[in-house]
Amino acid sequence: MLTAFSLATYRERQKKAQAQLGKVDLDALLVTAPDNIHYLTGFDSLGYLWYQALILSSRVQPACFLTRTSEMPCVHELSAIEDGVYYDIATQDPLELVAQALTDAGLASGRIGLEMESFTFSPAQYLRLQKLLPKARFVDGSTLIAGQRLIKSAEEIAYQRTAARMADAAMRAAFACIRPGLSEVQLAGEMARALGEAGSEYAAISPIVAAGRRSTMTHAMPQRQVISAGDVVILELAGVCNRYHAVLMRTVVLGKPNPRVREVADLLSAAFKAAVDAAKPGAPVGNANAACNQVLNRLDLAKARVHRIGYSLGIAYPPSWLEAMIVDESDAHLFAPNMSFTIEPNLSLYDEGFGLKLGDTVLCGESGSSSLSELAPTAIVLD
pLDDT in tens, 280-303: 999 999 999 999 999 999 999 999
Of 182, 348, 192, the closest CA to residue 254 belongs to 182
Of 6, 19, 14, the closest CA to residue 37 belongs to 14
Q: What is the DSSP track for 267-322?
A: HHHHHHHHHHHH--TTSBTHHHHHHHHHHHTTTT-GGGB-S-S-BB-SB-BTTB--
Q: What are the structural domains of the chain?
A: 7-148 (3.40.350.10), 154-382 (3.90.230.10)
**Is-contact 139 26, C-beta < 8 A?**
yes
Burial 333-356 (b: 16+ CB within 10 A, else e): bbbeebbbbbbbbbbbbeeeebbb
Q: Spell out, as residue ranges, where the chain has pLDDT lower than 70.
A: 1, 383
Of 312, 314, 316, the closest CA to residue 324 belongs to 312
Specify the pTM.
0.95
User: Cα 237 from chain centroid?
Assistant: 12
- DSSP helix/strand/coil, 66: strand
pLDDT of residue 58: 93
User: Cα 325 from chain centroid?
Assistant: 10
**Is-contact 148 13, C-beta < 8 A?**
yes
pLDDT of residue 383: 59
Residue 214 is classified by DSSP as G
pLDDT of residue 380: 84
Distance CA 193, CA 205 (A): 15
Distance CA 300, CA 18 (A): 48
